[in-house]
Amino acid sequence: MYTPPAFREDDPDALRAMIRQARLCNLVTATAEGLMSTPLPLYLVPDEGEHGTLYGHMAKANPQWKAAPIGDALAIFMGPDAYITPSWYASKKEHGRVVPTWNYLAVAAYGPVEFFEEADRLREVVTRLTDLYEQQRSDPWSVSDAPEPFVEAQLKGIVGLRMPIRRIEGKRKMSQNRPLEDRRGVAEGLAASDNPVDRIVSRLIPISKD
């Protein structure tokens, strides 16, 4: 991932938070049949390995898991993003030498991917992934709420995946390379947007004095 120094995010806690907040990722593998990609929710076990380990599952009918990966897999997590118009920059009025850009958060995690079919491992992955996203609900659903024969049948239709992270790259592009007044203009412009994601991005713009 191309990351200029101004946008590089190396803090492990920040990277883990970006992965958790992104929720859905794209898992990409290079194979003899070409590149393959699947959007998947993955969860991170942060203390398993140097950079943590990702877990998830995909449909058994998905051909990606059957095609042997060439080298490491790539998991791409995207956070909130927004278009930035140069009209928000104070410097537009000063000299006009400004262009549009895009602000976003991204994490690229690389590592060997293992696919597995053992029922006990699949149940653990499905349960942990479900609990992760149900825990915020007032009446959370649990895997054990479903009839056991039904759960067993569903597990037969999926494969699990485990991906220890060998290398991780983070990018936080939030106008931090712009002058303070430009950043303030961006934050104000996004905050006034009708798009809720734009308003989230507005709160990520650094607007304190350098």
Residue 186 domain-assigned (yes or no): no
Residue 191 domain-assigned (yes or no): no
Specify the pLDDT at position 210. 57
Specify the pLDDT at position 46. 95
Angle between helices 119-134 and 148-155 (to 10 degrees): 110
Read off the amino acid at residue 183.
R
Residue 154 domain-assigned (yes or no): yes
How many structural domains is the chain composed of? 1
Residue 101 domain-assigned (yes or no): yes
Share the mean pLDDT of the chain. Answer: 95
Residues 122-153 have pLDDT tens digits of: 999 999 999 999 998 999 999 999 999 999 99
Confidence check: pLDDT of 114 > 90: yes
Q: What is the mean pLDDT of residues 85-97?
A: 89
| pTM (global) more than 0.95 | no
Residue 128 domain-assigned (yes or no): yes
Residues 6+ apart with CB under 8 A from 55: 42, 43, 44, 45, 125, 128, 129, 160, 161, 162, 163
Domain, as residue range, for 62 = 5-177
Specify the pLDDT at position 208. 80
Residue 184 domain-assigned (yes or no): no
Split at pLDDT 50, 70, 90, the class of 154 is very high
CA distance 193 to 191: 6
Specify the pLDDT at position 142. 93
Structure tokens at 56: 């998830």
Decide: 56 and 124 in contact? Cβ < 8 Å.
no
Residue 182 domain-assigned (yes or no): no
Alpha helix ranges (H) inside the chain: 12-22, 90-94, 119-134, 148-155, 180-191, 196-202
Confidence check: pLDDT of 23 > 60: yes
CATH number, domain with residue 51: 2.30.110.10
